[in-house]
Structure 1
Amino acid sequence: MYDRGSGPSSPSEEIAYLLAEAGRAVDALMAERPGMRLLGPLHQTVLRTLSDLGPHARLDLAEQLQATPTAIAQVIDDLLAQGLMQAMVVNMGGRHEVVALTAAGTAALTTMQNDLESLHSTLLASLTKGERAQLRYLLRRVRASATRAGVLPPSSP
């Protein structure tokens, strides 16, 4: 349980402290899971997007995720090297390289989702289902404020 007497003196300091501590806890738990260590946040987002929306051309994927083509190219190269996606050339209105998930990519995504569920169960064990929903809502609002302030890039759902 959090001991208010030993923490920061003002509510603003306390909130900043608690958010930082929660972030460190998430990072520590994610680092314990092999699948999460191999895949950075953008890698995970690319896998999720390909799973949800199907194969994409590199530039279309960068546009869909609001990421730079250079960042997406690096992630795609990493995922291709790990065998989590495959590339194919498609000739439709010009020559395009399209990337798609492999069976290994789908399995990695499933492992990642299971790891996240386990992480949530560990960190949010003391919260009710309603409190978890409220926390998600509040954190999305905090992230949106950070995005509007230019601190974070736009996110994909």
Structure 2
Amino acid sequence: MELLAAAGRSVETLMAESLEARASSLLHQSILKVLADLGPHARRDLAAQVDAPAAEASRVMDDLQSQGLVQALVVNVGGRQEVLTLTAAGTAARATALDHVNGVQDVLLASLTKGERAQLHYLLRRVCATAARAGGAQPGFRI
């Protein structure tokens, strides 16, 4: 189990370094992913969805908004709320970040054959599913 944990930490570090070199972070990408996959979210709901402290998530949301990657809309449903949605530039930035993360993956898995990569993917999905059923915490980021 130590080996799996060490591999996870190494992968997270390499992904974070790759994103940081492009003025982004795992939290930036997690927020963009939620907006891309699940659509517009209120700020508070978005912070909960990415499992980040509200102040940190808000700072990143403001950063994404200042970069033009998300836009804020004010809605009055059950009270006034600011809802964030992905812009076209945000969609493009997310695709670029995914390309870089896939590059990190290719470096890490370079010594594996295509079949070994598929088998590793299958086994890791099973381990993660079992951990989730056992009540294991899900990572606070999703790329």
TM-score bracket, shorter-length normalisation: 0.7 to 0.9
Count of matched residue pairs? 137
Instruction: Give 5+ residue unaligned stretches, structure 1.
Output: 1-11
- Give the counterpart of 1:132 among 117, 121, 141: 117
* Equivalence for 1:93: 78
How big is the shift at 1:138? Answer: 5.7
Rg larger in 1 or in 2?
A: 1
d(CA) in 2 for partners of 1:36, 1:135 = 28
d(CA) in 2 for partners of 1:30, 1:58 = 23
How big is the shift at 1:42? Answer: 0.9
How big is the shift at 1:39? Answer: 1.1
- Give the counterpart of 1:68 among 53, 59, 71: 53
How big is the shift at 1:75? Answer: 1.1
* Equivalence for 2:138: 154
| Aligned partners of 2:74 and 2:83 also within 8 Å | yes
* Equivalence for 1:116: 101
d(CA) in 2 for partners of 1:27, 1:49 = 21
TM-score if structure 2 supplies the norm length?
A: 0.73
How big is the shift at 1:91? Answer: 0.9
* Equivalence for 2:62: 77
d(CA) in 2 for partners of 1:56, 1:30 = 24
d(CA) in 2 for partners of 1:67, 1:139 = 24
Instruction: Give 5+ residue unaligned stretches, structure 2.
Output: none
How big is the shift at 1:128? Answer: 2.3
Higher relative contact order (CA 8 A, sep 6+): 2
The Cα offsets for residues 109-150 of structure 1, whole Å up to 9 and x where unpaired, read as: 0101111222222221221234224434666648x59x95xx
The Cα offsets for residues 3-46 of structure 1, whole Å up to 9 and x where unpaired, read as: xxxxxxxxx99x48x749x828x746764x57753111111100
RMSD of equivalent CA atoms: 3.3
| Aligned partners of 2:19 and 2:26 also within 8 Å | no
1:44 partner letter: Q
Change (3 A) 1:93 1:69: same
Which segment is superposed worse, 128-137 or 51-60? 128-137
* Equivalence for 1:23: 10
